[in-house]
């Protein structure tokens, strides 16, 4: 079972980032932080969020928006 404490951790992080960037929509806020990769056809695509573990999303958000861990 996944740790339920991760929910408040990631929501607080998103809240902190969003309050500093209120012009962004939620999808933009998250999508901007995701790394891109080149597909087999040469087109760029972002990491698939469906399979993305919460701890990785947290890492991507912290890195992209320069937010320190608590």
Q: Which long-range contacts (CB under 8 A, 24 or more apart) does 42-46 make?
A: none
The closest of 30, 5, 3, 34 to 18, measured between CA atoms, is: 30
pLDDT confidence of residue 67: 95
pLDDT confidence of residue 3: 93
Tokens linked to 59: 């890492």
pLDDT confidence of residue 39: 73
pLDDT confidence of residue 69: 83
pLDDT confidence of residue 43: 76
Give the tens place of pLDDT for each residue, 13-64: 999 999 999 999 999 999 999 988 777 777 777 788 899 999 999 999 999 9
Domain ranges of the chain: 5-65
């Amino acid at each position: 079972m996944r740790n339920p404490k991760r929910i408040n951790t990631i929501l607080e992080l998103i809240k902190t980032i969003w309050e500093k960037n209120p012009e962004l929509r939620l999808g933009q806020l998250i999508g901007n932080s995701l790394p891109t990769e080149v597909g087999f056809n040469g087109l760029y695509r972002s990491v698939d969020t469906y399979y993305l573990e919460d701890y990785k999303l947290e890492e991507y958000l912290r890195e992209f928006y320069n937010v320190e861990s608590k």
